[in-house]
Amino acid sequence: MKVLTAVDSFKGSIDSSEINRIIAKELENRGLEVIQKPLADGGEGTIDALIDAEIAERIECTVTGGLGEKITSYYAMMHDGTAVIEIAQICGLPMIPPNKRNPLYTTTYGVGEAIIHAIEHGAVNIVITLGGSATNDVGIGMLQALGVTITTPSHQSVLSGAAALEAITHIDFSTCITSNKDVSLTVITDVQNPLWGPDGATYIFGPQKGMTPDDLMQIEKQIQRLCTISPILQKYQDTPGAGAAGGLGAACLALGAQIFDGADWFMEKLQIKETIPQVDVVITGEGRLDSQTLSGKAPVSIARHAQHLNKSVIAIAGSIDTSLLPDFYESGIKSCLSVIPGIQTLEQAMSLSQVQKNISYISQQIASFLTWSKE
């Protein structure tokens, strides 16, 4: 029996490649043949998965972090000249201490600096992954770094963060340095939210980034106002994905970027769909199986494709929203398994050593089940 293991990272505890290595080891110990594929969908861990798959190399760069400080970050340069920039590695929530998370003051400026760095290092295509941001500045920081003219009534440059949006009275995209560069821009995301509105960037994602109810109302008002003074932002305000990364999606669209589903893009680059017909069983999963998983994240994208090929899919996770089991089954997942064998605190379950043991445990159970008929 041949098995494909393609499990996304358990965010905050273990990356995709290590999860798949643990699973493969346990399955191979029972005589099963395993193909490993790292998995991501545009969020945290995307560029590491590309690098681990040996289709890209790590390029380090010094950029401005989410709080305005200089940091050492990195992006992935693929062999075809495509640079993949993961904003979670620059201005993502994991990069900022919980007590300092506040989108009123966090900036996307470093994303623009990373784009410039990649262009200077020969990138002909730039891909920006929009998951995991700590920002809500509509990409104003990135645009400033790229030379877009953004000024106040007194023609002064604006400060960083969402709090500075109210000072903006003029946006001129014609001064952007990418406009005279022979480079294409792509964004990948796993969310379909518009720029503003009840399902937009601020109201849906602002609270988890540190915004108060009063902040939400004020920033939403300013984003709507920006769309009235910038026809190009207004053009893309309702485009699915424009609200990704605190509106960074809209800023990228305004620069001419194409937008793609993160899971589909990643599976194409790793040739995961081409691998599924070669195996009997697929093991996938992520840290938590919930409504967001069903909205188009990588495990469900894999399951739906496998379903068309009559391949069995097992999904593993740290936790599972059991009320959604019928929906997971309908998507093509045959079995949803929690890796946690008994009572554990959240801190225990998230620790690297414990999560390694938990994944090893569930892998042994899966291996036992898959080899049952041979015993």
Tens-place pLDDT, residues 141-176:
999 999 999 988 887 778 789 999 999 999 999 999
Same domain flag for 107 and 251: yes
Per-residue pLDDT of 205-256, as tens digits, reads 999 899 999 999 999 999 999 999 999 999 999 999 999 999 999 999 999 9
Q: Look at residue 373 in the predicted model and tell me its pLDDT.
A: 66
d(CA 241, CA 254): 13
Residue 331's pLDDT band (boundaries 50, 70, 90)?
Answer: very high
Same domain flag for 236 and 281: no
pTM exceeding 0.85: yes
d(CA 185, CA 254): 11
Same domain flag for 243 and 318: no
Burial letters 208-222, b for 16+ CB under 10 A, else e: ebbbeeebbebbbeb
Total domains, the chain: 2
- Tokens 């994602």: give the residue: 205
Average pLDDT for the chain: 92
Residue 345 has pLDDT above 60, yes or no: yes
Same domain flag for 76 and 123: yes
CA gyration radius, the chain: 21
Give the count of beta carbons closer than 10 Å to the beta carbon of residue 249.
Answer: 31
Residue 5 has pLDDT above 90, yes or no: yes
From 243, 262, 281, the end of a domain falls on: 262
Contact 56, 76 (CB under 8 A): yes
Q: Look at residue 375 in the predicted model and tell me its pLDDT.
A: 53
Q: 162 to each of 33, 113, 141, 187, 216, how far by Cα in Å?
A: 51, 19, 10, 21, 10
Same domain flag for 100 and 207: yes
d(CA 304, CA 329): 10
Residue 68's pLDDT band (boundaries 50, 70, 90)?
Answer: very high
Residue 119 has pLDDT above 70, yes or no: yes
Residue 37's pLDDT band (boundaries 50, 70, 90)?
Answer: very high
d(CA 309, CA 275): 11
Same domain flag for 225 and 301: no
Give the count of beta carbons closer than 10 Å to the beta carbon of residue 116.
Answer: 18
Average pLDDT of the residues in 106-129: 96
Who wins on pLDDT, 200 or 155?
200
Q: 130 to each of 84, 123, 332, 367, 373, how far by Cα in Å?
A: 11, 19, 27, 35, 45
Same domain flag for 199 and 276: no
Residue 31 has pLDDT above 60, yes or no: yes
Q: Look at residue 198 in the predicted model and tell me its pLDDT.
A: 94
HSE-up of residue 291 (Cα within 13 Å, Cβ side): 1
d(CA 98, CA 31): 45
Least confident stretch, 72-76, 109-113, 173-177, 194-198 = 173-177
Q: Look at residue 141 in the predicted model and tell me its pLDDT.
A: 95
Per-residue H/E/C for the chain: CEEEEEEECECCCECHHHHHHHHHHHHHHCCCEEEECCECCCCCCHHHHHHHCCCEEEEEEEEECCCCCEEEEEEEEECCCEEEEECHHHHEHHHCCHHHCCCCCCCCHHHHHHHHHHHHCCCCEEEEECCCECCCCCCHHHHHHCCCEEECCCCCECCCCHHHHHHCCEEEHHHCHHHHCCCEEEEEECCCCCCCCCCCHHHHHHHHHCCCHHHHHHHHHHHHHHHHHCHHHHHHCCCCCCCHHHHHHHHHHHCCCEEEEHHHHHHHHCCHHHHHHHCCEEEEECCEECHHHHCCCHHHHHHHHHHHCCCEEEEEECEECHHHHHHHHHCCCCEEEECCCCCCCHHHHHCHHHHHHHHHHHHHHHHHHHCHHHC
From 219, 234, 262, the end of a domain falls on: 262
Least confident stretch, 277-286, 288-297, 352-361 = 288-297
Q: Which domain holds residue 348?
A: 2-37+271-374
Average pLDDT of the residues in 75-95: 94
Q: Look at residue 158 in the predicted model and tell me its pLDDT.
A: 80
* Domain harbouring 120, CATH code: 3.90.1510.10
Percent of the chain with pLDDT over 70: 99
Residue 374's pLDDT band (boundaries 50, 70, 90)?
Answer: low
Same domain flag for 203 and 117: yes
d(CA 160, CA 162): 7
From 219, 240, 262, the end of a domain falls on: 262
Residue 199 has pLDDT above 60, yes or no: yes
Same domain flag for 218 and 284: no
Same domain flag for 215 and 104: yes
Two tokens at 78? 């693929």
Same domain flag for 185 and 60: yes
d(CA 161, CA 371): 55
Two tokens at 73? 């970050």
Same domain flag for 287 and 219: no
* Domain harbouring 284, CATH code: 3.40.50.10350
Average pLDDT of the residues in 96-107: 92
